[in-house]
Amino acid sequence: MIDANLPFEAQESEWISGEGPTHDIVVSSRIRLARNIAGFPFVNRATEQERREIVSLIAQKSPKWAGGMVFIDLNTVSSLDRHLLLERHLISAGHMRGTRPRGVAVGADQSLSVMVNEEDHLRLQMLRPGEQLRQVFEGINKVDDEVEAEIDYSFSNRFGYLTACPTNVGTGIRVSVMLHLPALRLCGEIDKVRRAARDMQLALRGFHGEGSEATGDFYQLSNQTTLGKTEEEILDTFVEVVIPSVVEYEKSARNSLMNKRRGYLEDQVWRAWGLLTSARLISTTEALQLLSLVRLGLNLDLLSHVDEAAVNALLLQCQPAHLQFIVGRQMGQGERAVARATLIRERLGA
Amino acid sequence: MKCDRCDNEATVHEVNIVAGKKTELHLCQSCALEMGLVVKPQAQIAELLAQMVKTPAPSAKTTTRDTLRCESCGMTFAEIRKKGQLGCSQCYDTFAQQLTPLLERAHEGATHHLGKVPRRAGGCIDREAQLLRFRRQLQEAVNAEDYERAAQLRDRLHNMENQVDITTTIGDKNSPEGATDGGAGRSARDTEVEGAEND
């Protein structure tokens, strides 16, 4: 087994299952809390010794949190394992690439993770499928209370939870949703969403969050302001204003395509299906782009003979680390393109 | 043209015509901000940080600030500007004054925390933050025409405003040292640092 070091099965990640409320457009809901431990300098200023102390503190405490978390020292697992964790959104790209003492504690169902020594000492995050922000907040807030009962957080009356970067200070909260916006892209409206997001002090990012490109029409929308608002206010804005308006916008783009450009839309969807079920070599980016169109076709009932769960699962399985895990060995890029095309044809029953 | 409220140059002009009657308002940027006619411009994190790095030291005072060193971790403000990150929690005290304009720009004008407070810090919520919270809730209650709640909040606000100091309690019974590096002792340090910088 190539990921023998990871203490959990390579079962599918629940967040990409295509379930949960409004799942056709809101793929998943995520909340992270940035926290630092009192008595230590922030990570960027901490010595190796101090970083190690933080890692061992969390390694020792985390098995008792949230009904039992598993701690992974990222310096003791393979690069493929770290990639797998990134693809499941359990760690960030920066955390995957790091070399200094760092780790991650993962909850039993893989919806919860606590990154240790990322930009802040602790980054607690919870991820669920569909639009479930309020449930996610309730969950992560509970875990935060549990952690706080055992660990002194850096907190100031005036500035709130103190974070390495002043743009996270206060609540330390980042609320984000992963949105699937293929119709807005097909209608050339994505830039308008980007501008509207900026006007509302929100950030629109790619598939893997900060610094990543949008792949397969998947975008992450998240708050930028963390100070001067309560967690509930930030959440309310998302749940009551932001998400409904983006969902409505994507829906109207879908309706407009269905009513006015149905031929074009069907062609896009069926071409995607044709390529996915015929290609012999395919890259991750192309696969995600085509799967996105097939997903849209399924949501609009343009395709009916396709297993929706298989399409959603492929969004994760076609990524490099998952693909290598499924095949059971490490592969170079060229070999992966062949294996990916084969896997997709197999899973789509072609 | 001068601002209607102060002697500064007016840069924001508003003309209202209500029922055929024309009224004009000419304000400087800060008065317009105060009256809520304009909103502070928001900048992306990268732009903000880039600006922090690019901003030259315009006076001797800024130079002193740049060389001011955090006693706890040794970071200077120049290093913080370069890195875009603070070195430790004490930096927030040491550089409170320099950070304020940055925080205002990054957080829609906010400079004080309003959200969750660690349970161990119970009872030492900044009075100012608490007052702000109640005022905001009061406004919401009025907007929602929930007058019963508005009356309750008004009474709580009134009691608080009459209270001399509610921030003297540090931590709860289980945590005699108070909240981590926070607590009332920290507020005292805030004042000290800011006082020293004004010299």
Structural contact between residues B16 and B10, judged by C-beta atoms closer than 8 angstroms:
no
Task: Name which of A226-240, A298-312, B111-125, B164-178 the model is least confident about.
Answer: B164-178
* Contact residues on chain A for B48, CB-CB shorter than 8 A: 167
B2 pLDDT tier (thresholds 50, 70, 90): confident
Length of chain A in residues, anyone? 350
For range A319-342, the mean pLDDT: 94
For range B94-113, the mean pLDDT: 92
For range A39-56, the mean pLDDT: 95
Radius of gyration of chain B (CA): 21
Rounded to a whole number of angstroms, the distance from the CA of B46 to the nearest CA of chain A is 10
* Contact residues on chain B for A145, CB-CB shorter than 8 A: 119
Q: What is the pLDDT of residue A209?
A: 62
Quick check: A155 and B48 CB within 8 A?
no
Q: What is the pLDDT of residue B130?
A: 63
CATH architecture of the domain A14-254 equals 2-Layer Sandwich (3.30)
Q: What is the pLDDT of residues A109-166, one digit of tens each?
A: 889 999 999 999 999 999 999 999 999 999 999 999 999 999 999 999 899 999 999 9
For range A48-54, the mean pLDDT: 95
Higher-confidence position of A69 and B58: A69
User: At residue B122, does pLDDT exceed 70?
Assistant: no
Domain boundaries, chain A: 14-254, 261-347
Q: What is the pLDDT of residue B37?
A: 61
Quick check: A155 and B121 CB within 8 A?
yes
User: At residue A27, does pLDDT exceed 70?
Assistant: yes
Structural contact between residues A29 and A137, judged by C-beta atoms closer than 8 angstroms:
no
Quick check: A198 and B44 CB within 8 A?
yes
Mean pLDDT over all residues of chain B? 67
* Contact residues on chain B for A121, CB-CB shorter than 8 A: none
For range B125-141, the mean pLDDT: 67
B94 pLDDT tier (thresholds 50, 70, 90): very high
* Contact residues on chain A for B89, CB-CB shorter than 8 A: 36, 38, 42, 154, 156, 162
Q: Which amino acid is at B63?
A: T
User: At residue A101, does pLDDT exceed 90?
Assistant: yes
For range B45-51, the mean pLDDT: 53
Burial pattern B134-170, b for ≥16 Cβ within 10 A else e, equals: bebbbeebeeeeeeeebeebbeebeeeeeeeeebeeb
Task: Name which of A217-221, A265-269, B40-44, B172-176 the model is least confident about.
Answer: B172-176
Radius of gyration of chain A (CA): 21
Q: Helices marked H in A23-77 — which ranges?
A: 48-61
User: At residue B183, does pLDDT exceed 70?
Assistant: no
Q: What is the pLDDT of residues A228-263, one digit of tens each?
A: 999 999 999 999 999 999 999 999 999 999 999 999
Task: Measure the N-to-C terminal CA separation of chain B; round to a whole number of Å.
Answer: 35
Q: What is the pLDDT of residue B17?
A: 67
User: At residue A71, does pLDDT exceed 90?
Assistant: yes
Quick check: B113 and A42 CB within 8 A?
no
Q: What is the pLDDT of residues A156-199, one digit of tens each?
A: 989 999 999 999 999 999 999 999 999 999 999 998 999 989 88
String of DSSP letters for A113-125: EEEESSSSSEEEE
| pLDDT > 70 in chain B, percent | 52
Residue of A36, A156, A226 lying closest to B107 (CB–CB): A226
For range A71-78, the mean pLDDT: 94
Quick check: B180 and A155 CB within 8 A?
yes
Please give the model's pTM, rounded to 2 decimal places: 0.75
Higher-confidence position of B146 and B57: B146
- Check the CA dihedral A88-A92-A98-A100 and report its sign: negative
Mean pLDDT over all residues of chain A? 92
Q: What is the pLDDT of residues A104-119, one digit of tens each?
A: 999 988 899 999 999 9
Q: What is the pLDDT of residues B3-26, one digit of tens each?
A: 888 888 887 777 766 666 677 778
Residue A209 DSSP label = B
Most A CBs within 10 A among B40, B73, B88, hence the mutation to make, goes to B88
Q: How far apart are CA A201 and CA A46, in angstroms?
A: 31
A11 pLDDT tier (thresholds 50, 70, 90): low
Task: Name which of A20-24, A286-290, B42-46, B84-88 the model is least confident about.
Answer: B42-46
Length of chain B in residues, anyone? 199
Q: What is the pLDDT of residue B36?
A: 60
- Check the CA dihedral A6-A11-A12-A13 and report its sign: negative
Structural contact between residues B175 and B120, judged by C-beta atoms closer than 8 angstroms:
yes
B61 pLDDT tier (thresholds 50, 70, 90): very low
Q: How far apart are CA A83 and CA A239, in angstroms?
A: 31
B194 pLDDT tier (thresholds 50, 70, 90): very low
Burial pattern A270-303, b for ≥16 Cβ within 10 A else e, equals: eebbebbbebeebbbebbbbbbbbbbbbbbbebb
| pLDDT > 90 in chain B, percent | 21
Question: How high is the ipTM of this complex?
Answer: 0.87
For range A307-316, the mean pLDDT: 90
Q: How far apart are CA A303 and CA A298, in angstroms?
A: 5
Q: A with B: how many residue pairs have Cβ under 8 Å apart?
A: 159
Quick check: B180 and A170 CB within 8 A?
no
B161 pLDDT tier (thresholds 50, 70, 90): low
State the Cα angle at A98 between A92 and A104, rounded to 5°.
55
User: At residue B181, does pLDDT exceed 80?
Assistant: no
Q: How far apart are CA B156 and CA B162, in angstroms?
A: 10
Q: What is the pLDDT of residue B172?
A: 35
Quick check: B109 and A228 CB within 8 A?
yes
Higher-confidence position of B137 and B197: B137
Beta-carbon contacts of residue A116 (< 8 Å; ≥ 6 apart): A54, A55, A58, A102, A103, A104, A105, A122
String of DSSP letters for A36-47: -BTTS--GGG--
Q: Is A148 on the interface with B (CB under 8 A)?
A: yes
Q: Is A255 on the interface with B (CB under 8 A)?
A: no
Structural contact between residues A195 and A97, judged by C-beta atoms closer than 8 angstroms:
no
Higher-confidence position of B195 and B50: B50
User: At residue B152, does pLDDT exceed 70?
Assistant: yes
User: At residue A37, does pLDDT exceed 70?
Assistant: yes
* Contact residues on chain A for B96, CB-CB shorter than 8 A: 158
Quick check: B108 and A225 CB within 8 A?
yes
| pLDDT > 70 in chain A, percent | 95
Q: What is the pLDDT of residue A109?
A: 85
